Chains A and B, each alone.
Chain A
Amino acid sequence: MTEFNFEPKIVAFLCNWCTYTGADLAGTSRIQYPPNVRIVRLMCSGSVDPTYVLKPLLDGADGVLIGGCHPGDCHYQSGNYKARRRIIALKEILKAVGFDEERVWLRWISASEGARFAETVTQMTEELRKKGPNPMRREWAV
């Protein structure tokens, strides 16, 4: 793949109850969004271990999206509050070690927000296209 027709790859970790269902709604509502996202369904954004986010980034994914229920709406009461702190810590660490932390997005998207899911993926794809490929993409020594 040349830089000219670079298409960003996004790995998305979506919670079963809100964001994944939102993505499903975007599909059933036939809302168009870029095919750049690979979705992994998890039971809760609170079950996203930082390692899940780091592994694709170090292997060359251009961005990672974590999607969960809006604060107050977590199916397990507090998973998304814990995810929030965990992802904030992760992004601070990435920033501190010289990695572009803007490649990691955390978004609250409910089951009824199919349009918001599509917008988020569109926006993220655009932002990553501007950034260009993740420098780790060709870095064999990580």
Chain B
Amino acid sequence: METVIPVENGDTLAALRGFLRLLLEREVVEALLLPVETSAGAITPALVTDPALLDAANPLAPVMGVNAAPLVGAVSVREPRGRIGALLRPCELRALVELVKLQQASMDDLVTIGMDCLGTYDVTDYMAMRADGGVDLAAFLAGAQDGLPQPREGYAFRDACSMCENICPDGADIALELFGADLATGLPLTVRDELAERLGMSPAQAANGRRAAVVRKAVELRTAERDARLTQMQRRLAQEGIEGVLAACIRCHNCMVACPICYCKTCLFRSPVFEHEPAQYMRWASRKGACRLPPDTMLFHLTRLNHMVLSCVGCGMCTSACPAELPVARIFRAVGQQVQAVFEYVPGRSVEEPLPLVTFKEDEWSSVGEE
């Protein structure tokens, strides 16, 4: 059902909080997992059961410190669990779909609340902006009426956001539709019919009906930006190799920790497999004249590419987490584009579509191996 949450005094956030409160009060869900603002001004995911504490909810803040999909996994993966509503950005929703297929999360008893993503800042930029005159949410939201909001002067959106063309929450039970709307007067949303009924909502049309056109234009712009950045990365990889592009890696494993899909409880690279005898290092150093320490940096990245790239949803948390400011996410998207195409797989599209490496057909690639 398409409807609109009325906004009073131009306060979109208050209207959204009111709607979220309704979800708890009408017992549609027992808890909400969503971004909450701490008293110090940081935005962090929290699991909220007390409707009064939703006064601190701030899902519209343009910042992304973590991808919340693994957190949804943590609260949903096995019974007994609560009936939870999770408010997620499109890349978080897509990561959640991948985690469900990897059996690290469950959609049972879960209500997904998706929202159009207008772009996000890194935590450092967001906190700096707060100290530097504050974050003008109303002005930021106003930018969505005609297209893509521009980042504040002197600041940039996260690299992944600047080239993200998946800006709508496809498949969510409740979709907050920010693009094309005058958010100072009303917040349009699409709610699954049975949920709308339980919430006592009645259908209403967004006043201007411009969303489709605004989204189309935004996707076009972002797709062009994506293609430009990924083509540049593909060229770099061809010229320098991955060992060149990632030469400054300090092997902190931050990209692995920040990745919402990278889920192994015992990562190979943190296992005793990579604890060696002192003499082994000497053998390596002698063979090549020198060996980089810690060793196997490219093995780490190439293995991660092999494990993750087919499921990479391009959320860019790896780039945000990299202290060496390496373009990890661009590599994953550039490589992912090519590998995903081979398997005609779109990560995050559907829980029904099997992961390419856990399924097979007998009559495919039948010439491979027979040369």
Contacts and interface: CB of A to CB of B under 8 A. Distances in A.
Nearest to A108: B369
A8 B348 CA distance: 42
Interface in B74-130: none
A93 B305 contact: yes
Which has the most chain B C-beta neighbours within 10 Å: A59, A89, A96? A96
Contacts of B234: 96
- Size band of the interface chain B makes with A: 35 or more
Contacts of B334: 96
A38 interface: no
B369 A106 contact: yes
Contacts of B292: 140-142
Contacts of A138: 288-289
Nearest to B244: A98
A97 B247 CA distance: 13
A78 B241 contact: no
A99 B342 CA distance: 18
Contacts of A55: 296, 299
Interface in A73-89: 78, 80-82, 84-89
Interface in B293-308: 296-299, 302-303, 305-307
B335 A86 contact: no
Given A93-B335, A140-B290, A88 B303 contact: no
A88 B288 contact: no
A92 B371 CA distance: 18
A124 to B, nearest CB: 11
Given A84-B365, A107-B371, A141-B243, A58 B288 contact: no
Contacts of B263: none
A68 interface: yes
Interface string B234-253: 10011111110001000000
Contact of B309 (A51, A93, A99): A93
B356 interface: yes
Contacts of B243: 139, 141-142
B302 A58 contact: yes
A93 B339 contact: yes
25 contacts: A50-B307, A54-B302, A55-B299, A58-B296, A58-B299, A59-B284, A71-B362, A71-B369, A80-B369, A81-B360, A84-B364, A84-B369, A87-B368, A92-B342, A93-B335, A96-B339, A97-B241, A97-B331, A107-B369, A108-B369, A108-B370, A139-B288, A140-B288, A142-B292, A142-B299
Interface of B: 234, 237-243, 247, 268, 284, 287-292, 296-299, 302-303, 305-307, 309-310, 331, 334-335, 338-339, 342-343, 356-358, 360-362, 364-366, 368-371
Given A50-B302, A86-B357, 4 more contacts: A58-B296, A89-B343, A96-B334, A139-B243
Nearest 5 pairs between A and B by C-beta? A97-B242, A81-B360, A50-B306, A98-B241, A140-B290
